[in-house]
């Protein structure tokens, strides 16, 4: 035989009861069906009892609403007219009794716990009558065989009497029996009691254990135990198999799929439990058994959390080595009905922290201070304080046992995402690691753990992209085209959760549609400023966050330090920060290292060419960069490659601007400032402390042309054409070309126009390409050469994208 329990949502609607009927009729027999009250009715009964006790005559309105809800359901779930009438009469009789009780409470303006227990018992009494008639089943009243005794202010099951009564009552099992869960009666007095919220699960487990059922099925409105709370994490999935210990740990720490005490009776009888969905019965569900599932691909099975935590800390040097302190702590708390779900103690014994519900915190502190009043007076205990409004998170899995590095990975992951652990605990069974953190960090903690331990189908990177012009627009288009492939082939989900232009910003935690982000940014975006952008990112507090700067804005570059301090990685095409004063550059690098996040700027030099990464790899492997020679301006290279008798200097500059290679103001390129910045960045990455002012500049444009308006520049620049053309012809006749070369040798830096012959690697550099020669201790006689496109929106965007992908550490 089997026991099947159906929750409030399963029996709370016509659709639900009809689904219950189909499920039960197709099940192997005999079967005992345990039902909860219709969804919401238990709360309504508590409410109506309180209203009547308060003298609020509107309790009658609530009463009538419940009455009509039950009566309206009968003809829709029961076909036979005679059975309909019988059921209606039974329901009306129960409601008449309930009405009389409520009237008495209203008249005396009081409702004792015994009366309240009686009132709320009607929920299951009513639902079980309707379901039993709908199933044409025998009805049983759980109050006749579920017996309780009073301990520590609560009703606990008297198993000896209960098991005996169950065996007597169900000595002969009909095909289908229906009874209400939750409700019980006191062993000696027969006063009506209950098993507490969620007690219908417990009723079903008690019946299954007493009768030796083959299986206990818990039918609810979800497909089973999820890897985490789906209201917080979007990509959770059903855990198909759990051990009893894993299920118990998940239940105790907030997973509300089944009532925690449910596990206890069936565990001892080795009766498996199956969690199924009444509204999706074809789903496999979750199978819980005593067998230990050795699936090494999943170290942890699930994450559970309690967002209602108060941490009480007892601290004092007088506790060290004193026997019985913990006994006194837990004894006084138990005496006052306070449940402790987490204990964390320093090995020195001078501090003990306990986790309780926020509602229990004031009483817990009060009784602990009374218990240790003498020790506090003598200074042996310094303080007993509570920190409220916290959250507790537990990772659960039998495979954590004897697996090294789990705790390290957990706390490392949390640390890199800026999540502070206030207290932690792990039992010797190693099935559960629990920690307490700020409630505001709960969402982020759950998401990052879910990702880190591969409970998610995908690793997620959450991007904030600032600058949606040429480079930023190309980047977003590349992400859009590549998203599905990265998910399919690399299990990486790149999600853009924020975009900003110079005027507008748009943030959306679930992700922005990249197909029409510009329209949404303009129509739905808020007014943007660098300060507002940083504030929104920090307040969103999203996990695995990456700030992507596709601007050339100094104010945006000044946000990096704050974002890194808040554990947000930074990927930037903006050269300002990395080429700013050396202490600022160094602080950004050190902050990223200290916080365990990334500060990446590969595209600051050479667009998408792997220059900085190569330098870093050489140095990290023990090499030393001795000399760098490079053509780093695609714009200047384009200009000098296009010089001819038909294309004088002024025309070549205009061509570079029209082709999109130069800055809007070409003087930015002609001044060599951009090359200086790039050389400073390379020198620093090579291990040299260099400032922009240290770079020697040998420019080819007179200083006067860098001042004044753009119109004046375009008017004056042709005056250099004749001189340049004459020099170009002489140069060409001798088989040479001009290149604007950046050089660093043992920390000494210079930029300027140089002549190179046809044997030099720079001679044949085409278009806007860049080239870099790295002379190192290892690559000495023959320098390492890196060559390719060094300018252009697409390759720069691709380089930024590559930096973003590198954060995920995929191959």
Predicted pLDDT at 407: 87
Q: Looking at the predicted structure, is the pLDDT value of residue 296 above 60?
A: no
* Tens of pLDDT, residues 689-745: 999 999 999 999 998 999 989 999 999 999 999 999 999 999 999 999 999 999 999
% of the chain at pLDDT higher than 90: 77
Predicted pLDDT at 228: 86
Predicted pLDDT at 292: 65
**Sequence-distant (≥ 6) Cβ neighbours of residue 688 within 8 angstroms:** 744, 746, 747
Beta bridge partners of 393: 305, 435
For every residue of 686-700, which 3-state class applies, written as one string?
Answer: CCCCCCHHHCEEECC
Cis peptide before 399 (omega within 30 of 0): no
Which residue, 283, 180, 287, 266, is CA-closest to 222? Answer: 283
Among 149-153, 190-194, 490-494, the range scoring the smallest mean pLDDT is: 149-153
Q: Looking at the predicted structure, is the pLDDT value of residue 791 above 90?
A: no
Q: Give the mean pLDDT of 585-604.
A: 96
Q: pLDDT tier at 576 (50, 70, 90 boundaries)? A: very high
Encoded tokens for 628: 């760098």
Q: Looking at the predicted structure, is the pLDDT value of residue 268 above 70?
A: yes
Q: Give the mean pLDDT of 425-454.
A: 87
Q: pLDDT tier at 258 (50, 70, 90 boundaries)? A: confident
Catalytic positions, written as ranges? 678
Q: pLDDT tier at 786 (50, 70, 90 boundaries)? A: very high
Q: Give the mean pLDDT of 532-542.
A: 94
Residue 659 exposed, middle or buried by CB count within 10 Å (0-12, 13-18, 19+): middle
Sheet containing 748-757, strands listed edge to edge, beginning at the edge strand earlier in sequence? 696-698, 748-757, 736-745, 625-631, 769-776, 784-789
Give the count of alpha carbons within 13 A of 618, CB side only. 23
**Sequence-distant (≥ 6) Cβ neighbours of residue 172 within 8 angstroms:** none
Q: What is the mean pLDDT of the chain?
A: 92
Q: Give the mean pLDDT of 39-46.
A: 96
Q: pLDDT tier at 271 (50, 70, 90 boundaries)? A: very high
Predicted pLDDT at 294: 57
Alpha-carbon distance of 558 to 563, in angstroms, equals 10
Q: Give the mean pLDDT of 137-155.
A: 90
* Tens of pLDDT, residues 92-109: 999 999 999 999 999 999
369 near 384, Cβ under 8 Å? yes
Count Cβ atoms below 10 Å from residue 454 Cβ, excluding itself: 14
Q: pLDDT tier at 187 (50, 70, 90 boundaries)? A: very high
* Tens of pLDDT, residues 365-378: 999 999 999 999 98
Q: pLDDT tier at 235 (50, 70, 90 boundaries)? A: confident
% of the chain at pLDDT higher than 70: 98
Could you tell me the sign of the dihedral formed by the alpha carbons of 792, 798, 803, 804, in that order? Answer: positive
Q: Give the mean pLDDT of 355-371.
A: 94
Predicted pLDDT at 234: 77
Q: Looking at the predicted structure, is the pLDDT value of residue 84 above 70?
A: yes
Q: Give SS3 for 480.
A: helix
Q: Give the mean pLDDT of 469-477.
A: 95
Beta bridge partners of 736: 757
Q: Give the mean pLDDT of 37-61.
A: 95
């Amino acid at each position: 035989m089997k026991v099947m329990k159906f929750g409030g949502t399963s029996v709370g609607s016509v659709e639900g009861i009809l689904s219950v009927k189909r499920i039960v009729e197709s099940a192997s027999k005999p079967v005992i069906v345990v039902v909860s009250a219709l969804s919401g009715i238990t709360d309504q009964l508590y409410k109506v009892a309180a209203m009547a006790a308060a003298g609020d005559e509107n309790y009658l309105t609530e009463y009538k609403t419940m009455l009509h809800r039950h009566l309206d359901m009968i003809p829709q779930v029961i076909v036979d007219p005679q059975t309909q009438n019988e059921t209606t009469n039974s329901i009306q009789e129960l409601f008449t009794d309930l009405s009389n009780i409520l009237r008495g409470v209203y008249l005396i303006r009081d409702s004792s716990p015994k009366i309240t227990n009686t009132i709320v018992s009607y929920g299951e009494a009513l639902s079980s009558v309707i379901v039993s008639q709908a199933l044409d089943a025998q009805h049983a009243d759980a109050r006749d065989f579920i017996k309780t005794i009073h301990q520590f202010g609560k009703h606990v099951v008297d198993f000896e009497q209960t098991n005996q009564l169950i065996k007597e009552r169900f000595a002969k099992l009909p095909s289908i029996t229906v009874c209400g869960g939750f409700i019980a009666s006191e062993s000696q007095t027969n006063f009506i009691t209950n098993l507490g919220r969620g007690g219908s699960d417990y009723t079903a487990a008690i019946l299954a254990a007493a009768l030796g059922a083959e299986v206990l099925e818990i039918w609810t409105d979800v497909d089973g135990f999820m890897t985490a709370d789906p209201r917080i994490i979007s990509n959770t999935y059903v855990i198909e198999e759990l051990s009893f210990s894993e299920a118990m740990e998940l239940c105790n720490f907030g997973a509300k799929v089944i009532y925690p005490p449910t596990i206890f009776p069936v565990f001892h009888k080795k009766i498996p439990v199956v969690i199924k969905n009444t509204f999706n019965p074809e789903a496999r569900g979750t199978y819980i058994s005593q067998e230990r599932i050795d699936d090494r691909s999943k170290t942890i099975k699930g994450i559970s959390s309690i967002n209602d935590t108060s941490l009480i800390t007892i601290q004092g040097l007088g506790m060290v080595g004193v026997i019985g302190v913990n006994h006194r702590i837990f004894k006084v708390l138990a005496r006052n009905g306070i449940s402790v779900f987490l204990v964390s103690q320093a090995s020195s014994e001078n501090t003990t922290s306990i986790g309780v519900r926020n509602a229990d915190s004031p009483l817990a502190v009060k009784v602990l201070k009374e218990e240790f009043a003498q020790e506090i007076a003598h200074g042996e205990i310094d303080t007993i304080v509570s920190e409220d409004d916290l959250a507790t998170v537990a990772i659960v899995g039998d495979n954590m046992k004897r697996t090294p590095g789990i705790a390290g990975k957990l706390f490392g992951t949390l640390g890199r995402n800026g999540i502070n652990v206030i207290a932690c605990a792990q039992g010797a069974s190693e099935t559960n690691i629990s920690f307490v953190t700020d409630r505001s960090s709960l969402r982020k903690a759950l998401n990052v753990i879910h990702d880190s331990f591969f409970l998610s189908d995908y690793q997620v990177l959450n991007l904030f992209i600032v600058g949606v012009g040429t480079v930023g627009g190309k980047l977003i288009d590349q992400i859009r085209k590549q998203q599905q492939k990265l998910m399919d082939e690399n299990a990486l989900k790149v999600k853009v959760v924020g975009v900003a232009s110079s005027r507008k910003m748009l943030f959306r935690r679930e992700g922005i549609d990249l197909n029409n982000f510009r329209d949404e940014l303009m129509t739905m975006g808020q007014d943007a400023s660098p300060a507002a952008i940083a504030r929104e990112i920090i307040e969103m507090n999203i996990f695995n966050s990456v700030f992507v700067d596709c601007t050339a804005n100094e104010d945006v570059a000044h946000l990096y330090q704050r974002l890194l301090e808040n554990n947000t990685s930074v990927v930037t095409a903006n050269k300002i920060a990395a080429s700013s004063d050396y202490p600022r550059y160094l602080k950004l690098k050190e902050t990223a290292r200290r916080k365990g996040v990334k500060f990446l700027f590969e595209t600051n030099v050479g667009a998408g060419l792997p220059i900085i990464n190569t330098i870093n790899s050489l140095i990290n492997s023990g090499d030393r960069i001795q000399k760098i020679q490079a053509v780093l301006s695609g714009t200047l290279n384009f200009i000098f490659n296009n010089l001819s008798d038909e294309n004088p200097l002024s025309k070549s500059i205009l061509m570079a601007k029209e082709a999109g290679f130069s800055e809007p103001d070409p003087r930015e390129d002609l001044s060599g400032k951009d090359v200086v910045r790039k050389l400073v960045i390379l020198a620093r990455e090579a291990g040299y402390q260099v400032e922009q002012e240290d770079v020697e500049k040998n420019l080819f444009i007179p200083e006067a042309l860098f001042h004044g308006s753009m119109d004046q520049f375009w008017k004056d620049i042709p005056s250099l054409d004749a001189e340049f053309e004459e020099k170009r012809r002489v140069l060409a006749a001798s088989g040479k070309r001009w290149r604007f070369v950046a050089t660093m040798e043992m920390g000494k830096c210079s930029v300027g126009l140089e002549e190179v012959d046809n044997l030099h690697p720079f001679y044949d550099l085409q278009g806007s390409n860049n080239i870099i020669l790295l002379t190192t201790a290892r690559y000495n006689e023959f320098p390492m050469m890196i060559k390719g496109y060094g300018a252009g929106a697409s390759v720069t965007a691709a380089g930024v994208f590559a930096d973003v992908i590198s954060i995920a550490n995929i191959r």
